[in-house]
Every structure is written in structure tokens, then in C-alpha cells.
Amino acid sequence: VSDTGDVEAIKRLKPQDATTNPSLIYKAAEMEQYAHLLDNAAEYAKGDLSLAMDKVAVNFGHEITKIVPGYVSTEVDARLSFDTEATIAKARKIIDLYKEVGVDKSRILIKIAATWEGIKAAEVLEKEGITCNMTLIFNLAQAIACAEAGATLISPFVGRIMDWYKADKKVDGFAPAEDPGVISVTQIYNYY
């Protein structure tokens, strides 16, 4: 899985799937070769900033679907993480934007924060055939809740788990077998 908005890097790496997020899209959007994707979004949105941001993400995602054979994850605005209905509406809008450019929803994973509200949104969306990638997973309880909701994919935050423990224990790092992030993901994997 490629974790970038840089379309040229994805072409070089040839991953099966790709995921993006607003910070990755922002970084790629600063590159001159992608200016046309921003221009298109601005013109499309006609002053609606929220729509423009969704359209930028979809424009990048559309380009990525031309390269990877599998899924492309596109993130719902993180500010909606504690609003089930708004998350559902935003996910549907993103899928509609992909449909407008000829990308079927079967190629898209909607990336949603694994808050309780986000998990409930994923449960509704998955029943509608909109596949979800649950992110910001820090523990087994979240992973289980996502699985019970029928989420297609979970994305545990291995590195962020380790970062928290490094700061808490005031250490520079952990041996792989002692890395709290790796231990957490292993626990999640073994549960299933």
C-alpha cells in the first residue's frame, strides 16, 4: 500500500493499493505538476471551500486509480469524526464525486476515524456497499468494534502507538519484539 499523494512516486513504486490523507494531498498539491488538479477543483466548487477540498482529494484519487489496480482510500474530513450523520453524508458525497469522473465505488475505500461515531457511520456505509478503511486505531477494542461494524479494512497506527510510549517512558525507541505498536498490531492480528 502506497501512503502518498505524489502520483509520480506511485507510478515508480507500483503498489497494489494506495491511501491518501489531507496532509499528503497538501504536500503533493504544492508540486507544480499537480496544479491542474487544484485548478479543476476550484472551478468545480465555485467558491464552496468544503466541496473544493473534497474535489481536490477525488482529483488526486482519480489519478491514482489509473495507476494502482486495487483500492484508493480517500479520507473524510477529520473534523467530522464525532458526527455520524455528517460522516455518512461526506462519504456519500466523495463516492458521488468519484462516480462523476467514472470511478466505481468498488475501487474506493472511504477512510474514517475509528471513533465510536465513525464506526457507526462505517456500519451504515458498508451496508450500502461503500467500503471503509478505519484509521486512528490505537487498540484492540477499536479494532474489534470496527470488525463488528463490518469495516472492510482497519489501519492501526503502529508508529503513533510507539511514539506515545517513547514519550511516556522517555526512551529513544524499542527493540522490534518490544515495540508497543508492533505488539498491539500482533494482538489485533492474532485475535482474528
d(Cα 31, Cα 13) in Å, to the nearest integer?
A: 18
CA angle 91, 51, 49 (to 5 degrees): 135
CA angle 2, 61, 6 (to 5 degrees): 50
Burial zone of 150 (CB within 10 Å; 0-12 exposed, 13-18 middle, 19+ buried): middle
Beta-carbon neighbour count of residue 176 at 10 Å? 8
Phi and psi, residue 21, nearest 5°: -150, 170
Query: Which of 14, 55, 111, 169 is flagged as catalytic?
Result: 111
Beta-carbon neighbour count of residue 123 at 10 Å? 18
Q: 106 and 96 in contact (C-beta within 8 Å)?
A: no
> Active-site residue 111, yes or no?
yes
Residues with a known catalytic role = 111
